[in-house]
Amino acid sequence: MSEISLYQRLGGYDAIAAVAAALMVRIKDDDKLRRFYDHRGADGIAREEQLLVDFLCASSGGPMVYTGRDMKTVHIGMRLDEEDWARAMAHLTATLEAFKVPEAEMREVMDFHESLKREIVEVS
Q: What is the domain-level CATH number for residue 70? A: 1.10.490.10
Size of the chain in residues: 124
1 within a domain of the structure (yes/no)? no
pLDDT tens figures, 1-52: 469 999 999 999 999 999 999 999 999 999 999 999 998 999 999 999 999 9
Query: Residue 89 carries which side chain, given as an amino acid letter?
Result: M
Q: What is the value of pTM for the model shown?
A: 0.91
Contact 66, 58 (CB under 8 A): yes
64 within a domain of the structure (yes/no)? yes
The set of residues, in sequence order, having a beta carbon less than 8 Å from that of 39 and lying 6+ positions away, is none
pLDDT tens figures, 51-79: 999 999 999 999 999 999 999 999 999 99
Domain that holds residue 79: 6-120
Contact 68, 55 (CB under 8 A): yes
Residue 47's alpha-carbon distances to 39, 67, 94, 117, in angstroms, are 15, 12, 24, 22
